[in-house]
A = this chain, B = another copy of it.
């Protein structure tokens, strides 16, 4: 790894609860993100299914940093963090999360990481 990079902070609301409790659906979504952005997982992703209402957390350790997702079926909400220490990847979060999770509103923010070069501070 090198550099400090950029983090995508993605909040999706209005999702269909059954999608947010489906480990298969979320694993397929993560596979799609990894494939589309050519990310390089290190080891196996870590998944945890919480007790009722059945939220799911996934953590993927990447050679580029990490991908994390959490789902909250009780509120139809899902969060994603993609921290990427190299070039900033583009991905159609809004469209893809509408398609796969039924999200009605997707908010994508980027957080620049690093405090080495003062001019890069945000």
Contacts and interface: CB of A to CB of B under 8 A. Distances in A.
Interface of A: 1-4, 7, 9, 11-13, 42-43, 46, 48, 50, 55, 57, 59, 61, 63, 65-66, 68, 70, 72, 74-77, 79, 81, 83, 85, 105, 107, 109, 111, 113-116, 121
Secondary structure type dominating chain A contacts: strand
Nearest to A66: B68
Contacts of A74: 2
B46 A59 contact: yes
Q: How many copies altogether?
A: 2
10 contacts: A1-B72, A2-B72, A4-B79, A7-B81, A9-B111, A42-B48, A46-B61, A65-B70, A68-B83, A70-B85
B83 A116 contact: no
A33 to B, nearest CB: 16
Contacts of A61: 46, 48, 57, 59
Given A46-B46, A61-B59, A3 B115 contact: no
Contacts of A116: 13, 75-77
